[in-house]
Amino acid sequence: MRIAVIGAGPAGLTAARGLDADVFEEHEEVGLPRHCTSLVSSAGAEAVGVPLEVVVRSYSLLTVSNLAGHTLYFKLRRPVYLLDRPGLELKLAEDVGRIRLGEQVVAASGNYLRTRRGVRGPYDLVIVAEGFARRFADRLERVERLPALQVDAKVAGRPLEEIVVVYNRGISRRYFAWVVHIDGEVYRIGLADTSDVPGKLMRLLKLLRAEPVSKPFGGRVLAGPPHRRLVWGRYVLVGDAAGLTKPLSGGGIILAMRSGRALNDALRKGDLGSYEDSMRFVRMRLALARKAYDLMYGRR
């Protein structure tokens, strides 16, 4: 079977592992540019086999705050890991044969793909692993996407601990902001919302008296709901392309790898239907979480 994979993120790379597949990646390097905060639960990381060498540090304290006097502290039962995200993708890429870097897929027709470099194919199966770009997936089902931006910044005196999640309508109306301690006085500070995200990030940095030490980076956080169907004829969706992201936290790395692995197993068994079955429970949980999201922020 000839397989094409659109996107060399965690979902596409895990799905393509050890298969005879052409993986198309629009960027010139795997794992870059970075967009993600890179936090995962240690339990999830173990379950999907995140290599320990890409774990940068771990956290055991979560603070929920409105940065206006109300704060709750949670001691985490299992630690949360900060990952070296480009490192994770480079590691996953070691088990993938053909990655065509710098080759964006722009159209799909029948068994063929059109990329910026020409027509490719024929393919029996196309794995859509395009992440939050969702140029193909959005034509099948819609998922709410919120612009998100973050920056690494110095905060003198290190006033905040480990992971701080900020719920404050004045900072983000439809999501939350985050302040994650990275090292020394450096924090990763970011937020997602529906509008004026750069302006809101500037105001948050000012409030925290934070001095940026990196360029801003980000993308689109997915807030669900997950796709109802993952297999559409010869097209199969994984990771963010399938809307497999936790609506209340934006976490999608583990689900990207989990769906990639489930698809890889199904392809090895020659039973594509088992992919959809194996993700059913996950999708039900994400759909429920989306209902909780609607209760918190209202329906759109």
Ligand X SMILES: Cc1cc2nc3c(=O)[nH]c(=O)nc-3n(C[C@H](O)[C@H](O)[C@H](O)COP(=O)(O)OP(=O)(O)OC[C@H]3O[C@@H](n4cnc5c(N)ncnc54)[C@H](O)[C@@H]3O)c2cc1C
User: Which residues of this protein are in contact with ligand X, per CB under 6 A?
Assistant: 6-12, 24-27, 35-40, 104-105, 129-133, 135, 148, 150, 190, 218-221, 239-241, 245, 250-254, 256
Residue 68 or 183 with smaller CB distance to ligand X:
183
Residue 157 CB, shortest distance to ligand X, in Å, is 25
Residue 184 CB, shortest distance to ligand X, in Å, is 20
Residue 151 or 155 with smaller CB distance to ligand X:
151
d(CA 279, CA 297): 26
Residue 27 CB, shortest distance to ligand X, in Å, is 5
d(CA 112, CA 44): 36
Residue 70 or 98 with smaller CB distance to ligand X:
98
Residue 15 CB, shortest distance to ligand X, in Å, is 9
**Is residue 212 within 8 Å of residue 153, measured between CB atoms?**
yes
- 18 class by beta-carbon count within 10 Å (0-12 exposed, 13-18 middle, 19+ buried): exposed
Helical ranges in 34-84 per DSSP H: 42-48
> Helix (H, G, I), strand (E, B), or coil: what is residue 45?
helix
d(CA 178, CA 157): 18
Q: Cβ of 112: how many Cβ atoms within 10 Å?
A: 14
Residue 69 or 252 with smaller CB distance to ligand X:
252
Residue 180 or 266 with smaller CB distance to ligand X:
180
Residue 77 CB, shortest distance to ligand X, in Å, is 18
